[in-house]
Structure 1
Amino acid sequence: MPDTYRVAAVQAEPVWLDVDAGVDKTIALIEEAAAAGAALVAFPETWLPGYPIFLWLGPVAGQMPYVARYHANSLTVDGRHLAAIRKAARRNDITVALGYSEKDHGTLYMTQTVIGPDGEVLLHRRKLKPTHVERSLFGESDGSHLKVVDTHLGRLGALNCWEHLQSLTKYAMFTQHEQIHIASWPAFGLYKGIAPALGAEANMAVTQTYALEGGCFVVTATQVISDAGIEVFASTDEQRALVTAGSGCSRVYGPDSSLLSKPLDEHEEGLVLADIDLALIDLAKNAADPAGHYARPDVARLLLNTRPSALVVTPEQGSTPLFPALEEVSEELVS
């Protein structure tokens, strides 16, 4: 496992509601990150087919024209779109942390899949609890999705958006000794001047705090929305007033909370790059390790249920993989 390597966080606008074009853009960004020497590239929350901004712009009746399109442009774990991205990861010898809307029959999930440089899936997880109006479109997952995995780059985990506000969720990750954390966010252009909690300042503070509390590197990927993107979802002046163009804010933070990357302008698309050294984690945790010497388990402990929540359990099933379709696709991948 290398101690030092380069990471890349995407700051870009999705191809809204067009999964085919979105996958093409994803592969182009993977190739760009690899050419820049990155060993890891991270994408924003629901990068494919773009964050569903329409959920925040009016009543449910007005959202209906978008719902079927969003389902149709969401990925399946055994589909050709994810397979193409896995092949791109292997072709470019790079680890890819992809955020997307996952379609599992009639339900969508806010998913993060981490793909290794050999094209194999290292981590597949779904957002534990969609936030506010997101619950009208997405389902929720269970404790089996709060997982940190061993990779050739170190112990890696991922969370989406306001999962970074959940203290117990964060602690479940910290206790698994996470070294590299993927923080996937949408654009921060919703309700500017109305709801500061949805803005970049508040949510970057939360992300930076995650790095400090967890003593880990945090690779933060965000979306950008243009005036043309706003027009995809906003059809009235009242709706347009609720979304501000730009609002990209991708960052890389060190385990002492330091900013390691050079920020892009909020309207600019590109990659935020940083060189990281895992040895810095030991220095950070020497001062404070909330999941180690700085803990007081005799006073407070976390009860974590990591068992998958199955809808139906039959005795003859025995032990089955959580995502068998991913394992099947792994066998079919070709160069």
Structure 2
Amino acid sequence: MSTQFKVAAVQAAPCFLDLDAGIDKAVRLIEEAAQSGAHLVAFSETWLPGYPNHIWLGPVAWQMQFVGRYFDNSIEAGSPQEARLAKAARDNGIQVSMGCSERDGGSLYIAQWHFDETGEVINRRRKLKPTHVERTVYGEGDGSDLNVVQTKIGRIGQLACWEHLQPLSKYAMYAQNEQIHVAAWPNLALYEGAAYALGHQVNNAASMIYAVEGSCFVLAPCALVTKEMQEMLCQGDAEKEALLPVGGGYTAIYAPDGSEIGDRIPHDQEGIVYADIDLHMIGYAKNAADPAGHYAKRDSTRLLINRKKQRPVINFDDASGWEEVTEIEPPQLADAAE
């Protein structure tokens, strides 16, 4: 495995509420990244079919006009649309991290799918806890979604948006010797100037800190809001337009020492951020501080994680399912006192 190669983070507006058009655009961007020599290309949070900014702009009754279209244009595992993404990864010999609204039965989830260079889905994860009003749209993930996978270019993990403000979730990822991390963000224009914590300063800083804490490379793709999207969602309402300005793309890539690598794109323009990375740098970073290794204070604090997939229905005649429920034992007091 070579330790030096190029990676790519996409900054592009989604084809909002149009899944098939979004697949077309994704394929073009995958091809562009591969032709530029990238071995991995990462897309932003729910890039398919776009982040539901409408949930932040008005009362529930007003939002309902978007609910049906958003549900219908969310992608399903095993669908023809997924097959097209897999083919694009395979045809171009590139790994793809795709942020999507995943439809499973009657529910939606904030998901990240990782296709390897053969087109196989090697990681299919969901955001553990949707943030604030996102919980009116999406269900939750579980500990099985805190997963780092071994690939031909290194150990790669994914988290979405404010999962990067969840210390224990981050620690669970660091402990898996993550080398490349995809930090998927939506557009960072929402509530600009009115809610500092939602802005690019804080959220880019979260990606940068993740790189330092985890001693890994971080790809932080970010979408943007176009004038057309603003007009669709705000419908001429000046107050809504102030809450959802055009732009908001602040895509970045960070090295294990926290330095930003790759050239920034203006926040209101589309493009792809590229960076040449060298995994050999990780050893130098971890030599100083490896929070889940030699820099851990294990006699004082430790993380307990349940990695079992949680299912809402377990059939009593399904032996494997029953074992899944019963095999987890509560921690012993002696262990807690160690």
Aligned equivalent of 1:6:
6
Residues matched between the structures, number: 320
Matched residue type, 1:8? A
Matched residue type, 1:38? A
* TM-score, with structure 1 as normaliser: 0.94
The verdict on how the C-alpha distance between 1:277 and 1:319 changes in structure 2, with shifts beyond 3 A counting, is: farther
Aligned equivalent of 1:285:
286
Higher mean C-alpha displacement, 227-236 vs 54-63: 227-236
The aligned runs of 1:41-56 (5 Å cut-off) are: 41-56=41-56
Q: Residue by residue, what CA displacement relative to the aligned partner does 1:281-312 show, whole Å, maximum 9, x if unpaired?
A: 00000001101110011100011111111122
Q: Residue by residue, what CA displacement relative to the aligned partner does 1:212-260 show, whole Å, maximum 9, x if unpaired?
A: 0000000110001111111111121221111111111111100111111
Aligned equivalent of 1:117:
117
Alpha-carbon separation, structure 1, partners of 2:269 and 2:20? 23
Aligned equivalent of 1:326:
none
Alpha-carbon separation, structure 1, partners of 2:319 and 2:90? 33
Q: Residue by residue, what CA displacement relative to the aligned partner does 1:113-141 show, whole Å, maximum 9, x if unpaired?
A: 00001011111100000000100000001
C-alpha deviation, 1:317, in angstroms? 2.7
The verdict on how the C-alpha distance between 1:36 and 1:137 changes in structure 2, with shifts beyond 3 A counting, is: same
State, as a whole percentage, how many aligned pairs show the same letter: 51
Matched residue type, 1:123? N
Unaligned runs of 5+ in 1: 321-335
Q: Residue by residue, what CA displacement relative to the aligned partner does 1:151-172 show, whole Å, maximum 9, x if unpaired?
A: 1111110000000000011001
Q: Alignment partner of 1:125: what SS?
A: strand
The aligned runs of 1:255-270 (5 Å cut-off) are: 255-270=256-271
Alpha-carbon separation, structure 1, partners of 2:288 and 2:149? 25
Aligned equivalent of 2:329:
none
Larger Rg: 2
Aligned equivalent of 1:150:
150
Q: Alignment partner of 2:61: what SS?
A: helix
* TM-score, with structure 2 as normaliser: 0.93
The aligned runs of 1:314-329 (5 Å cut-off) are: 314-319=315-320
Alpha-carbon separation, structure 2, partners of 1:175 and 1:212? 14
Alpha-carbon separation, structure 2, partners of 1:313 and 1:18? 35
The aligned runs of 1:179-194 (5 Å cut-off) are: 179-194=179-194
Aligned equivalent of 1:301:
302
Matched residue type, 2:140? E
1:203 aligns with 2:199: no
Aligned equivalent of 1:254:
255
C-alpha deviation, 1:316, in angstroms? 3.6
The aligned runs of 1:72-151 (5 Å cut-off) are: 72-151=72-151
Unaligned runs of 5+ in 2: 322-338
Matched residue type, 2:196? P
Aligned equivalent of 1:323:
none
Q: Alignment partner of 2:158: what SS?
A: strand
C-alpha deviation, 1:10, in angstroms? 0.2
Alpha-carbon separation, structure 2, partners of 1:319 and 1:78? 24
C-alpha deviation, 1:319, in angstroms? 4.1
Aligned equivalent of 2:326:
none
Alpha-carbon separation, structure 2, partners of 1:64 and 1:225? 21
Alpha-carbon separation, structure 2, partners of 1:318 and 1:180? 37
Matched residue type, 1:267? D
Aligned equivalent of 2:276:
275
Alpha-carbon separation, structure 1, partners of 2:4 and 2:99? 25
1:64 aligns with 2:68: no
Higher mean C-alpha displacement, 38-47 vs 227-236: 227-236
Alpha-carbon separation, structure 1, partners of 2:255 and 2:320? 39
Q: Alignment partner of 1:241: what SS?
A: helix
Q: Residue by residue, what CA displacement relative to the aligned partner does 1:154-213 show, whole Å, maximum 9, x if unpaired?
A: 111000000000001100100111000000000011111110001001100011000000
Aligned equivalent of 1:177:
177
Alpha-carbon separation, structure 2, partners of 1:40 and 1:319? 36
C-alpha deviation, 1:318, in angstroms? 4.0
Alpha-carbon separation, structure 2, partners of 1:251 and 1:318? 47
Alpha-carbon separation, structure 2, partners of 1:185 and 1:60? 24
Q: Alignment partner of 1:9: what SS?
A: strand
Aligned equivalent of 1:163:
163
C-alpha deviation, 1:314, in angstroms? 2.7
